[in-house]
């Protein structure tokens, strides 16, 4: 997509500051730290630094701690990439839920259609980048009509409409569409060649000692950085500000004279693009796709859980949600605790309980809770500095 | 020609049975949504609770390793196990509903509707996982008894036009419609129903008139929960039971039902349930692969063409 050329063309250093300064919503505190946090190059560089140490922390450090305390709490080599893939999706999902205030229960449709498109495309050209392009294009084309219809209704009806379209696609993939999707058997053994026309296999190691730094991880990191950059650019632009305004009060936006429908549709399509990129990458990473993992509505629910766990209303908050979700699903599920014993299949229960707790006590999610805590410690009086769009909505 | 007629008749009868379950679920969801403007994604979990309570009651009262057998009672006759379930399951649902209203719904009445959706979604997840871990993730056979009030219900009986039809399903249709009818009367004809109905229109006004609507809230919630649990029992008597049924067979259909019928309307939930029931039974009998797809697309079409539903008002849930 054109997004990648744009990154190659201009380094995000150029005009970051001016755009961010115009936004009044975030970080108007005026302190040097707040101003730094708003700078686009800072966001990207800080994210890049975090991405470099992330697998080391997740696998090697946690693994070493696990060795000491006797339970394995470190991740496996593929986990960091998986977290990033979901992270990319929920950055986009949060643009819809956290900023525009639209709760979609049908994003599995875009995730899944992109995953299947990438899988089918790999049989023609097994290039990972082209697979992502193909998947994203299909997801975007699908999001347009679904969004066009669903946006016309708000609230519950919007959630139900997106859900019905997603479920219709799921049952289509299982039944009548099985000539294309392979039905209940799914696709397995999907091979993507390495990057640079196969020169760099995706499972090759970048750094000899640390086996979590694979080419796949580097690839996912680059896409993640692009996603963060684009997300940051959107929410700090006047366009993104309208998304936020829509989340807070739709009527007011309409009275200003803006075309609410168009902005909501764009928010929907943009979030679907992110889901499409993530879906295609999921296929490349897992090399396996099935209607239940890709298209079933529980998958949409998982996006919702990740986003809310991490925290709506901030750019990278949901990524923490994706991390917690995948960590619980893949690592905690294998942990054996002293009293309770093996957690095993209880992981969804643990996650559900954590989720309810977060919704109840910290409506702004884990990230929001930490931000509040930080603000309290530094005495910045950060209360309501960054009102979450999700609960600023109805001030009745 | 006769073949076609009999086909239509059996589609209608099967649709009636499926539609009754949808209607039971839809009424519960719609009165809670209408009265309290509370969106309960844990409604399917109540169905799940109903199904498993029914399963346990049925097992403990009829099987040779059950509770009654261990007390030396080997037979209670008249399909007693299922009759016990018919009484106990809605009671359990009622109590669970009361608890849910007090501890889950009430703190969220003043929060945005996305928070309500999220917390009940999490609750549904928790209930499903508790069931999976306590009772097991395996699939149980349906729990239809062989006799009911001394009548043999395990054999199919011959009906005019339809041909052979399982008599148990006839019984299910009858009892479901008795419950639906009673609920309808309770809401249309009693003072309690009047408050509920007024509450669905304008709960603020009801409060201003000096009616203690909070007490009605608890009752409405519990009533909806009891109906969902009862639907679960009925579902469990004709289909297999597993932890996923709460979302797959209850939550989504319940939502589709109130979308078609119109949010906040009991009449709408009954009509919507029957419409969807007939659609799914017609599709299952002809192009079963497309049944679910057509169901969902029908609802999407309904939302686009007639967003207020058959009997609903535009304001509720929007």
Question: Distance between CA B8 and CA A384 in Å, rounded?
Answer: 61
Contact: A355, B297; criterion CB under 8 Å: no
Encode pLDDT of B293-302 as tens digits.
999 899 988 8
CA distances from B185 to A291, B71, B291 (A): 44, 41, 33
Name the token pair of B68: 């009654």
Q: Residue B313: its pLDDT value, please?
A: 62
As a whole-number percent, the residues of chain A with pLDDT over 70 amount to 83
Mean pLDDT of chain B: 85
Q: Which range has the worst mean pLDDT, A253-257, A304-308, B31-35, B101-105?
A: B31-35
- A246 vs B34: which has the higher pLDDT: A246
Name the token pair of B95: 């109590």
**Residues from chain B contacting residue A157 (CB–CB below 8 Å):** 259, 303, 307, 317-318
Q: Residue A280: its pLDDT value, please?
A: 94
Q: Residue A395: its pLDDT value, please?
A: 37
B188 touches A at CB < 8 Å? no
**Residues from chain B contacting residue A363 (CB–CB below 8 Å):** 111, 115
Sequence-distant (≥ 6) Cβ neighbours of residue A245 within 8 angstroms: A252, A253
Encode pLDDT of B125-146 as tens digits.
899 989 988 888 888 888 888 7
Best mutation site among A353, A356, A388 for testing chain B: the one with the most B CBs within 10 Å?
A: A356
Contact: A157, B317; criterion CB under 8 Å: yes
Give the closest residue to B277 by CA, choosing from B231, B318, B244, B313.
B231
Average pLDDT over residues B7-24: 91
Sequence-distant (≥ 6) Cβ neighbours of residue A49 within 8 angstroms: none
Q: Residue A338: its pLDDT value, please?
A: 66
Closest Cα of chain A to B296: distance in Å?
Answer: 5
- Annotate B148-180 with b (16+ C-beta within 10 A) or e (fewer): beeeebeeeeeeeebeebbbbbbbbbebbbebb
Question: Distance between CA A282 and CA A294 in Å, rounded?
Answer: 9
User: How big is the A-B interface in CB pairs under 8 Å?
Assistant: 121
- Annotate A201-222 with b (16+ C-beta within 10 A) or e (fewer): ebeeeeeeeeebbbbbbbbbbb
Q: Which range has the worst mean pLDDT, A61-75, A201-215, B60-74?
A: B60-74
- B119 vs A205: which has the higher pLDDT: B119
Encode pLDDT of A231-290 as tens digits.
999 988 988 889 988 888 888 888 888 889 999 999 999 999 999 999 999 999 988 899
Sign (positive/negative) of CA torsion A18, A20, A23, A26? Answer: negative
Name the token pair of B189: 């004809």
Residue A72 has pLDDT above 60, yes or no: yes
Residue B261 has pLDDT above 80, yes or no: yes
Half-sphere exposure (Cβ direction) of B29: Cα atoms closer than 13 Å: 39
Sequence-distant (≥ 6) Cβ neighbours of residue B5 within 8 angstroms: B161
DSSP state of A333: G
Average pLDDT over residues B119-127: 90
Contact: A157, B303; criterion CB under 8 Å: yes
């Amino acid at each position: 997509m054109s997004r990648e050329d744009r990154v190659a063309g201009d380094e995000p250093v150029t005009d970051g500051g001016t755009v961010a300064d115009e936004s009044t919503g975030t970080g108007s505190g005026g302190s040097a730290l707040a101003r730094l946090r708003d700078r686009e190059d800072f966001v990207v560089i800080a994210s890049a630094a975090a991405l470099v140490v992330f697998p080391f922390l997740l696998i090697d450090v946690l693994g070493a701690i696990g060795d000491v305390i006797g339970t394995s709490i470190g991740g496996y080599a593929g986990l960091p990439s998986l977290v990033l893939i979901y992270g990319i999706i929920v950055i986009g999902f949060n643009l819809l839920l956290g900023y525009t205030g639209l709760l979609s229960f049908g994003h599995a449709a875009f995730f899944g259609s992109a995953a299947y498109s990438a899988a089918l495309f790999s049989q023609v050209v097994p290039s990972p980048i082209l697979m992502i392009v193909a998947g994203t294009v299909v997801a975007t084309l699908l999001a347009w009509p679904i969004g066009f219809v669903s946006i016309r209704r708000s609230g519950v009806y919007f959630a139900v409409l997106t859900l019905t379209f997603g479920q219709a696609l799921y049952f289509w993939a299982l039944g009548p569409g099985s000539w294309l999707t392979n039905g209940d058997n799914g696709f397995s053994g999907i091979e993507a060649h390495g990057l640079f026309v196969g020169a760099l296999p995706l499972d090759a190691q970048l750094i000899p000692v640390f086996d979590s730094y694979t080419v796949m991880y580097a690839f996912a990191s680059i896409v993640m950085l692009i996603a963060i950059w684009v997300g940051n650019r959107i929410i700090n632009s006047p366009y993104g500000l309208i998304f936020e305004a829509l989340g807070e009060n739709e009527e007011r936006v309409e009275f200003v004279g803006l075309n609410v429908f168009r902005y909501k549709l764009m928010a929907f399509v943009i979030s679907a693009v992110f889901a499409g990129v993530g879906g295609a990458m999921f296929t490349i990473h897992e090399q396996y796709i099935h209607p239940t993992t890709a298209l079933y509505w529980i998958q949409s629910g998982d996006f919702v859980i990740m986003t809310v766990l991490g925290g709506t209303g901030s750019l990278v908050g949901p990524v923490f949600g994706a991390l917690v979700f995948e960590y619980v699903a893949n690592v905690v599920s294998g942990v054996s605790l002293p009293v309770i014993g093996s957690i095993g299949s209880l992981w969804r229960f643990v996650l559900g309980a954590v989720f309810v707790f977060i919704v109840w006590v910290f409506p702004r999610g884990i990230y929001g809770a930490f931000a509040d805590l930080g603000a309290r410690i530094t005495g910045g009086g950060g209360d309501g500095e960054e009102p979450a769009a999700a609960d600023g909505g109805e001030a009745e | 020609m006769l073949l076609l007629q009999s086909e239509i008749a059996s589609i209608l009868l099967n649709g009636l049975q499926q539609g009754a379950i949808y209607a039971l679920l839809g009424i519960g969801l719609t009165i809670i949504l209408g009265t309290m403007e509370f969106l309960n994604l844990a409604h399917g979990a109540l169905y799940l609770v109903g199904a498993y309570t029914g399963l346990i009651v049925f097992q403990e009262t009829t099987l040779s390793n059950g509770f009654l057998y261990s007390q030396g009672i080997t037979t209670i006759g008249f399909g007693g196990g299922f009759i016990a379930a018919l009484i106990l399951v809605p009671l359990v649902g009622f109590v669970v509903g009361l608890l849910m209203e007090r501890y889950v719904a009430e703190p969220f009445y003043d929060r945005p509707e996305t928070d309500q959706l999220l917390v009940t979604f999490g609750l549904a997840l928790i209930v499903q996982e508790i069931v999976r871990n306590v009772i097991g993730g395996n699939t149980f056979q349906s729990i239809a008894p062989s006799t009911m009030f001394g009548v043999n219900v395990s054999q199919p009986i011959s009906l005019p036009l339809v041909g052979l039809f399982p008599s148990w399903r006839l019984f299910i249709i009858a009892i479901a419609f008795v419950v639906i009818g009673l609920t309808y009367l309770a809401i249309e004809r009693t003072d309690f129903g009047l408050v509920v109905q007024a509450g669905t229109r304008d709960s603020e006004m009801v409060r201003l008139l000096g009616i203690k609507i909070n007490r009605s809230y608890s009752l409405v919630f519990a009533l909806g929960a009891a109906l969902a649990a009862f639907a679960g029992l009925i579902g469990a008597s004709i289909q297999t039971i597993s932890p996923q049924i709460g979302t797959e067979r209850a939550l989504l259909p319940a939502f589709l039902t109130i979308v078609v019928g119109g949010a906040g309307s009991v009449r709408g939930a009954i009509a919507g349930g029957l419409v969807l029931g007939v659609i799914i039974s017609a599709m299952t009998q002809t192009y079963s692969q497309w049944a679910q797809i057509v169901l969902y697309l029908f609802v999407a079409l309904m939302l686009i063409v007639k967003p207020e539903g058959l009997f609903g008002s535009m304001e509720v849930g929007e």
